[in-house]
Amino acid sequence: MERYEKDKYETFIFDMDGLLVNSEDIYFIGWKKAFAAYGLQVDDAVLASWNGKSAMSCEQYIVDTFHDKSLYEKLFKVREDYIYEALERGELHLLPYVKDVLEQLKKDGKKIALASSCRKKRAVAILKKTGIYDLFDVMVNADDVKHVKPAPDIYEKALALTHTPKEKALVLEDSSIGVQAAENAGLDVIQVIAEDRFDPRIGKILKKDMSFLL
């Protein structure tokens, strides 16, 4: 990003999973292990489609498919245990340029917010383990809002907490659902994602990594 473009914004709002850390791969494996633990199978394409979606969406699929309201919490526990074990083993790591970008934004006097559909407890654990927790001024998670992405609530709350007008905030997202949420909030958004996952019907600006912010 050219310097003058970067200086247009006061606040940079980041998604977490798949943008800052490689957690989406771990989440996918976690779901597979959870279903296998109960002798169940779900198509990989379905599990992959859950990236960026809320826990409520996943729960609804499980209830509709297996007709068991208690099953979701059982599966969720197996998955969460796997995620925390993977975190302790160092399998969750920052994606390229993430820490450099966050530190540079701090040096530039920018406000940095997290806006993630991830539950706050897990988000805090991941950010602390990967060494970037203290670089965020504000965190907004699924626990903090009534409606999750693609509703605009998470981004609207991040704006309120950082006291930022819409035109002074830039959102960085990887998922199409996240892009929709940012646009529903009336915010500028850049999708940072591999080209083969980019959907031009949803995302308007594509970057392959966050080096453009340096």
Encode pLDDT of 69-100 as tens digits: 899 999 999 999 999 999 999 999 999 999 99
Same domain assignment for residues 105 and 207:
yes
Three-state SS for 172?
A: strand
- Average the pLDDT over 43-60 and give the result: 86
What are the φ and ψ backbone dihedral angles of 197, each rounded to 5 degrees? -105, 0
Same domain assignment for residues 78 and 121:
no
Same domain assignment for residues 108 and 77:
no
Residue 33 has pLDDT above 90, yes or no: yes
Three-state SS for 7?
A: coil
Same domain assignment for residues 140 and 181:
yes
Q: Domain range holding 35? A: 24-88
- What's the whole-model pTM score? 0.91
Could you give the CA distance from residue 210 to residue 19 in angstroms, rounded to a whole number? 9
Same domain assignment for residues 15 and 29:
no
Confidence of residue 6 (pLDDT cuts 50, 70, 90): confident
Same domain assignment for residues 72 and 107:
no
Mean pLDDT across the chain: 92
Q: What is the structure's pLDDT at 200?
A: 67
Residues forming a β-bridge with 14: 114, 172
